A and B are shown apart, each in its own frame.
Chain A
Amino acid sequence: MTVAVLRLAGVTKTFRAPRGGGDVVALSGVDLDVREGEFLTVVGPSGCGKSTMLSLVAGFAQPTAGEVLFQGQPVLEPGPERGVMFQDYALFPWRTVMGNIEFGPYALGVGKAERRGRARELIQLVGLEGFEDRYPHELSGGMRQRCALARMLANNPTMWLMDEPLAAVDLQTRIILQDELLRLWGDGGSAKRSTVLFVTHGIDEAVLLADRVVVMARRPGRIKAIVDVNLPRPRAAQRSSPALAELVGRVWDLIRDEAVRAIAEETN
C-alpha cells in the first residue's frame, strides 16, 4: 500500500532567462512520494511550477538537480506507461477521432484489428460513438477532451499525468467530465486503479477528486503543504458535503496570499 510508484527527490528545475538576466527557478527542492493507485492533485498560483513538475514526470524535460524516479527508475524520456493528457489536448489535427485514439497502440506495434477493437471500446467508454471519423476541429471542446482522455487510456498507462485537462470548458461540461473521469479511474472502488497526478487551478476540483492535494507556492516553485482528503468515495455524492467545503476553505487559505500577489504582478 505504501509503495511509492513515483518519487521526486530534491527536484530543482531552472530555465535560462531568454534575454540575459538570471536563471528562473521554476522548481526548488521538491520532495514528493506518490503512492500506487493514489489520486493526487496539484494546485497553486500561476507560476508555481506545477506544470513544470508534470513535464518532468512525463520525461519531456530533465531536472536541473535532484531525481525523478518512476517505479524506482530515473525518468529519462517519455514512456507509454505514463500517459499524458494536455491542457490544450494536443490532438493530432490530421487524424480522426479513431486515428488519434489508436495512435498509441499503433506506435507500440499493436496489430490493426486489435487496436481498432480497443479504440472502439474506448470510444464507447467516453461516449464518442458516431464521431469516429470526425477530425478534431469538427468537435466541441468537451468532445475533444473525451478524445484526448481516450487517447491517453489506449495504452493502459499505469500513471495518468493530467495538466489542467478540464480548464477550457464551461462549468456544466466540467462537472460531467469530473464525474466521468472518476468513474473511469475506479471511484466506485474497483480493484486496480491507476495512479493519477492531476494539475489544476480549480481548488474545488482538486479537493473533490483527490486523495491528497499538493499545494504549491511560487518564487521559487515549491511544495507548501500536502492536504489529506479523507472523504468517502464515490466522490460524486460528496459535491455538496460540508466536509468538502471545509477542506476547500483550508486549501484556499494556504494559497490566497500568493494568488493575490501573482494576480497583482500579472496585471502590472
Chain B
Amino acid sequence: MSSALRRVATAAQPMIGIAALIAAWQAASVIAANPTLAPPLGAIARQIAAMASTDLLNDVVASLVHLLLGYGCGAILGLVLALLAARSEWFAAILDPYVEFLRPISAIAWIPIAILLFGVGRGVPVFLIFYASLFPILVSTLDGVRSVDRGLINAGRALGASRRLVVTNIILPAALPSILSGARLSLGVAWVAMVAGELVGADAGLGWRIMWYQEFFSMDGVMATIVVIGAVGWLLDALLRALQRRLLAWSPTTGARG
C-alpha cells in the first residue's frame, strides 16, 4: 500500500519539474506581455498542432536521417578505434594526440569548413554529428576496456578460453557498461551538433525549421520547434536508456534502476 504510493510519487517527480517549468513560462509570458518575445503556452501548443498537420513529420524525419548517418558512422568508428587502441599500444600512441587535440574543439567550429566542403545540404549536419559523436564513445570505450578486471581475464584463461574468446566473452561484456554510457553521451552531443548544423548548413530538418520561422518572425514557430527538439531528444535518450537497462540486467548498479 505505502510502496504503491511511493511508486506513484516517484513517477510524479519528473512531472513536478515539468509543471513548474510550464507555470514559470506562462507567468513570464503574462508579465512580459510581449507575444513575440515570450509567446504564451496556448500559442505554442496551437503552433505545434498546426505543424503536426503540415511539415512536422518531414522535419523530424529529415533530422533523424541526419542523425542516423552521422551518429551511426561516428559511434561505430569511435567504437572500432577504441577497440583497436585497446589492442595495440602502438596504435594507441598514434591515435592519442589526434583525439586529445580534436576532442576539445567544438563541432560547431568546423561549420565554415564543412559548408565549404559539402555545400548547404545534408553534408554539413551529418559531418557535424559525426564529429561530435566520435569522441565520447571512443574515450569511454577505451577507458572501459582498459579497466576490465584482470582477475576476470585470468579466470577465463584458466578455464581454457582462447584469446579470441577472452575478447568476445569477457572483455566486451565487461566493458559494455562503459560502451553504452559512451553511446549515450555521444547521442547527447550529436543531437546538439545536429541542430547547430541544420541551423546554418542544411536545407531540411528541425534546426533548419527554426531559421525558417525566424525569417517569418514567428517566435511561436521557433519556440514550438525548440519544444519538439527537446522532446525528440529526450525520447531518443529514453530509448538508449531502455536498451542499457535491458543489456545490463546483470549489473547490480544499472540493472535494478536506470
Contact = CB atoms under 8 A, between A and B. Distances in A.
Contacts of B169: 103, 107
Given A78-B154, A84-B154, A94-B176, A104 B251 contact: no
Interface stretch (B85-93, B155-163, B211-219): B155-163
A82 B152 contact: no
A17 B165 CA distance: 32
A80 B157 CA distance: 8
B160 A92 contact: no
How many of chain B's residues touch chain A, expressed as a range? 20 to 34
B155 A90 contact: yes
A138 to B, nearest CB: 8
Interface in A55-90: 55, 58-60, 77-80, 82-84, 86, 88, 90
Given A86-B151, A90-B151, A94-B250, A107 B156 contact: yes
A88 B151 contact: yes
B72 interface: no
Interface residues of A, number: 30
A90 B250 contact: no
Given A90-B155, A107-B165, A95 B250 contact: yes
Nearest to A109: B160
B170 A78 contact: no
Nearest to A110: B160
Contacts of A137: 250-252
Interface in A98-114: 103-104, 107-108
Contacts of A79: 158, 160
A88 B252 CA distance: 16
B154 A155 contact: no
Contacts, number: 73
Contacts of B100: none
A117 B155 CA distance: 22
A85 to B, nearest CB: 9
Nearest to B256: A137
B159 A58 contact: no
B155 A58 contact: no
Given A93-B250, A135-B250, A108 B160 contact: yes
Interface string B2-38: 0000000000000000000000000000000000000
A8 B250 CA distance: 40
B158 A92 contact: no
B173 interface: yes
A59 B156 CA distance: 12
Interface string B127-165: 000000000000000000000010110111111111001
A58 B154 contact: yes
B151 to A, nearest CB: 4
A78 B151 contact: no
Interface of A: 55, 58-60, 77-80, 82-84, 86, 88, 90-96, 103-104, 107-108, 135, 137, 151, 154-155, 161
Given A55-B154, A94-B174, A103-B169, 12 more contacts: A60-B157, A78-B157, A78-B158, A86-B154, A90-B152, A93-B252, A96-B250, A107-B160, A107-B162, A108-B160, A135-B249, A137-B250
